[in-house]
Amino acid sequence: MYAGRFVFAQVMDFLPMYEFHKCVERYNGDYRARFSCLDQYMCMAFAQLTYRESLRDIEACLRSMQRKLYHVGIRGSVARSTLADANESRDWRIYADFCHVLIGMARTLYRNEEFSIELEQMAYALDATTIDLCLSLFPWAHFRKEKGAVKMHTLIDLKCSIPTFIEITDGKVHDVNILDVLIPEPGSFYVMDRGYLDFRRLYALSQFLAFFVIRAKRNMAARRLYSHPIDRSTGLRFDQTIALTGIKTSTLYPEKLRKIRYVDEETDKDFVFLTNNFLLPALSIAMLYKSRWQVELFFKWIKQHLRIKSFYGTSENAVKTQIWIAVSVYVLIAIIKKRFRLDLSPYTILQILSVTLFEKTPLIELLADSGYKNEEKNGNVLCNQMTLFDI
């Protein structure tokens, strides 16, 4: 892999180029193009890895390395206008499809990761984050009267913190509508907050033989059918089988539900969960919902360490292109971390790569022998940075 090559080229070696070209051909992305989709992807990936703020910033940095660009795989002439045109016109689905290829690779690598809960089935967390935009510059991103935004609806694999489904919409689309788009996996668990509480959609989810764990609303009309024994020392307060009694809800969800109340001793917060699974222990249901925090960490991580809060273009296509390439870079870091069996956090890997992309150092030597060690106290990492997909 090395042979005197630049670090950027070594990082790009982890990309399955055959699959990338298949995605490009699927949407005819390189038709009559001098600046290829691969050139565009590499420039945008460079921007994510090195924290570039604008197209002018990308152009200035890459042109200063003009003699090295051919050797890292960028064949076209890098210009601000050329990159802007590519972001505006190249179909964003090219990069969405390629990102899903990388996600498949990453999930294969992380499939044997230990999970905090003894669970044979797959477990996912569904949530959405809002990215604020200026309505005058992004008039298509409807949200409020004087404010624009896009929503990034994401399904995270809780066993490896890798996103498996992403849907980008304008800010007006309610979170619960994504359940109409999502194709459930039979036997899997879907963990959601109460913003997704819609009994018609939850019943459809159960008809697909999938399980859900969701917080209940306080005004929910229901009657208790059975009570099950619990251990109150674990924080559980009750474990009940219930039936909905509301005029509409009893029709929308005619089957029995399981209702669990749990009090978190650390925060003294009271939680009431609903699920259609009657076999998993009640405490495991509570812990499964607690693991939903991983999707929040994912949103915070990519907003802090990747470029998805300020955009290089104003069209819907340019925004979606940038978000999908940012997510693919996140997944690429996860792949590199696992392939090299690194103890470094993704944040540290990004920081090292950001200042070494045009050095001629073996990538494994650069990362494994960086001399960086997390300070630990009683086994806990003393670091303000969030950690994801730890091994």
CB burial readout 173-195, b (16+ within 10 A) else e = bebbebbeebebeeebbbbbbee
Work out the number of other CB atoms within 10 angstroms of the CB of residue 306. 21
Q: Which two tokens stand for residue 371?
A: 């001399």
What pLDDT score does 368 carry?
A: 84
* Model confidence at 381: pLDDT above 80: no
Report the topology of domain 194-278. Answer: N-terminal domain of TfIIb (2.20.25)
Q: Which two tokens stand for residue 184?
A: 């459930």
* Model confidence at 179: pLDDT above 90: yes
Distance from first CA to last CA of the chain, Å, rounded?
24
CA-to-CA distance for 30 and 32, rounded, in angstroms?
6
Contact in structure between 7 and 358 (CB atoms under 8 Å): yes
What pLDDT score does 145 carry?
A: 85
* Residue reference for tokens 């699927």: 26
* Model confidence at 332: pLDDT above 60: yes
Every domain range in the chain assigned CATH 2.20.25? 194-278
Q: What is the 3-state secondary structure (H, E, C) of 69-82?
A: HHHHCCCCCCCHHH
Q: Which two tokens stand for residue 227?
A: 């009570």
Contact in structure between 240 and 222 (CB atoms under 8 Å): no
* Model confidence at 380: pLDDT above 50: no
Confidence of residue 92 (pLDDT cuts 50, 70, 90): very high
User: Is 59 in a helix, a strand, or coil?
Assistant: helix
DSSP 291: T
What pLDDT score does 382 carry?
A: 38
Whole-structure pTM value: 0.89
350 vs 4, residue with greater confidence: 350
Alpha carbon 357 to its chain's center:
25
User: Mean pLDDT, to the nearest integer, of 123-133?
Assistant: 94
* Model confidence at 30: pLDDT above 80: yes
What pLDDT score does 388 carry?
A: 53
Measured in degrees and rounded to the nearest 5, phi and psi for residue 3 equal: 50, 45
Segment of 110-119, 138-147, 196-205 carrying the highest mean pLDDT: 196-205
CB contact set of 85 (below 8 Å; sequence gap of 6+): 35
